[in-house]
Structure 1
Amino acid sequence: MKLYGVTGWKNAGKTGLMERLVTEITGRGLSVSTVKHAHHSFDVDHAGKDSFRHRQAGAQEVLLSSRNRVALMTELRGADEFALEALLTRLAPVDLVLVEGYKRDPHPKIEAFRAETGNPLIAPGDPTIRAIASDVPLESDRAVFDLNDTISIADFILREVGLSGGRP
């Protein structure tokens, strides 16, 4: 599986870019999975539901399955957070895995940047960032794309990972 990341500070446009990239790349006939890092506690089920009750009772893992989807929840219960590399082994094979977050991991990335957030660029100090997707023109030693130019960004990523995906 090929791996490419979308990184940036909070409210920089990462999730919107990820969503557009998944739509664009799958529309070209390639299979894509995503991994999203959350810096906070989150829940995918709700109090009172069977799966929630199983976790509350102490289950290490809870697998939910229906004819529409499968979800596996693992309770860490104080153990260390899984490394990205370990999480990737749990995914079914696809052409490309897009990773949102994990800015300190060594995979290649594009930085989403919005000037209005007031945050500095991460790219100057991080050689794993190969390009910047920005809402304002920037001078950089990396490729710079308009944050909304999904087609050009997808072309760049696919070239970077060595995948061909012709536009429909």
Structure 2
Amino acid sequence: MAETKPDLKKAAERRKAPLTTPSDLGDNAVRDLTGALNELLADVFALYLKTKNFHWHVSGPHFRDYHLLFDEQGGQIFAMTDPIAERVRKLGGTTLRSIGQISRLQHVKDNDADYVDPEGMLAELAEDNKNLIARLREVHGLTDEHRDYATSSLLDVWIDETERRLWFLFEASRREVSGH
């Protein structure tokens, strides 16, 4: 049985083939929607990594509670990534390919500090989730404008989940008031 060698020339040509997916949305809608979703995906990846960073590095008297809270929230955030990327592909676009692309598109600020106190972690994640809610609503407006109801329905769920994360972070950061 003769061994066949891969045809490198054909493989190179296949890499140049466009990744077009049929869609009834116009070119402008596909461009607008997939661009917005890719920026959203970059933010979700950045928020996921920051949340896991704080999960790994939290310390102090509320360690267990915050460690578990950040882990739960990180899992929920990561669960958004594949559906966002798959929506981009279903709409006919291409999605993120690298950490470098994420860093160019993200709005969420990285935190590379050697130490962040737990209150700072809660406050920073609360602010990031609040800003993510605003971006989710902006993308929702765009999906409504282009009549992309499937993406709109996903965004409804993600807005609710992000509001829940913000609520938990807010409540975990509240100080007890004595006498009440």
Same fold (TM over 0.5): no
Task: Select the structure of larger CA radius of gyration.
Answer: 2
TM-score, scaled relative to structure 2 = 0.27
TM-score, scaled relative to structure 1 = 0.29
Which has more strand, going by share of residues? 1
